[in-house]
């Protein structure tokens, strides 16, 4: 990956692996800070609202972030029979936290992101994502999420959501069998896990490795869900869900149909459709048709 910010008022992110690029017309850069961990920038765009960029990678825009955040939260929570204790690793922009806290059965959410500057920037430029930060069920920690998971009491969590950056540099360890084993241990017997898993078009080797390493780490039946994400490479994204024991064959469709909160993208039909496995994907993973 590389970043190039053109002089003619366009922000461009180049994906050197996929040999492609994505551009947004910008008005100005409104925030820039080098934290101890990474460089965080926010741009004011012409048509996508605010744009957050970390180390040259697009993280989110005001216009389309709801798709990602809803799909990271609601499919896994509506698949679990009774998700009360949730941990989010990463997610410093707090959008996934906001969606998780819409579920009344959730009693406690711990969000662990090592970089508080990300949350500070989100509070200033994406306040809608941080609307639930003061919820009494929320606990925001700024520590190493990997070490936090390893130190967690066995069986203490119902759902783990890995809202991570791309699997390069420090983020690589979040995609290893050792990390997955620590997550598996922290989950209760019916616990569920979900992690963003990049583009099925551009990053199929990563997804295939994730499936194998989840199994090595003690999880069963990894299942990848698909959804659009315009500002990410190829515009088509995924999240991979797995279970400590057995992934439920269905989700709580009746609860989705009568949910007490509004969503912009997620609904019962979207959940069902996201579970459909493309033929090329099944072939690449070497799994039978589902």
**What would the DSSP string read from start to end of 121-165?**
HHHHH-GGGGTTTT-TTEEEE-S-HHHHHHHSPTT-EEEEEEE--
Catalytic residue chosen out of the listed positions 163, 166, 189, 255: 163
Please provide the distance, in angstroms rounded to a whole number, between the alpha carbons at the two ends of the chain.
34
What are the angstrom distances between the C-alpha of 200 and each of 62, 196, 236, 279? Answer: 24, 11, 7, 12
Beta carbons of 223 and 249 less than 8 angstroms apart: no
Local structure of residue 55 (DSSP, 8 states): T
d(CA 94, CA 131): 9
Phi and psi at 33, nearest 5°, equal -145, 135
Based on the residue annotation, tell me whether 163 is a catalytic residue of this protein. yes
- Coil, strand or helix: which one is 282? helix
- Catalytic residue numbers read 163
């Amino acid at each position: 990956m590389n970043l190039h910010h053109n002089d003619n008022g366009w922000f461009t992110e180049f994906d050197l692996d996929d040999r492609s690029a994505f551009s947004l017309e910008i008005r100005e850069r409104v925030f820039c800070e080098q934290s101890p961990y990474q460089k965080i920038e926010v741009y004011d765009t012409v048509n996508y609202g605010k744009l957050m960029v970390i180390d040259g990678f697009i993280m989110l825009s005001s216009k389309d972030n709801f798709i990602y955040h809803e799909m990271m939260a609601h499919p896994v929570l509506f698949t679990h029979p009774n998700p009360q204790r949730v941990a989010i690793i990463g997610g410093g922009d707090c959008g996934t936290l906001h969606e998780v806290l819409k579920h009344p059965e959730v009693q406690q959410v711990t969000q662990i992101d090592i970089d508080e500057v990300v949350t500070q920037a989100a509070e200033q430029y994406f306040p809608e994502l941080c609307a639930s930060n003061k919820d009494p069920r929320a606990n925001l920690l700024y520590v190493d999420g990997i070490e936090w998971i390893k130190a967690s009491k066995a069986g203490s969590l119902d759902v783990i959501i890995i809202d991570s950056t791309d699997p390069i540099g420090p983020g690589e360890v979040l995609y290893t069998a050792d990390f997955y084993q620590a997550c598996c241990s922290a989950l209760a017997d019916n616990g569920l896990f979900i992690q963003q898993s990049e583009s099925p078009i551009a990053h199929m080797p990563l997804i295939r490795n994730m499936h194998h390493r989840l199994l090595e780490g003690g999880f069963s039946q990894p299942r990848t869900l698909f959804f659009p994400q315009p500002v990410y490479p190829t515009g088509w994204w995924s999240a991979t869900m797995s279970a400590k024991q057995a992934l439920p064959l269905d989700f709580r469709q009746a609860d989705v149909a009568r949910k007490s909160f509004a969503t912009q993208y997620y609904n019962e039909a979207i959940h069902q459709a996201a579970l459909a496995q493309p033929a090329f994907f099944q072939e690449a993973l070497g799994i039978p048709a589902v």
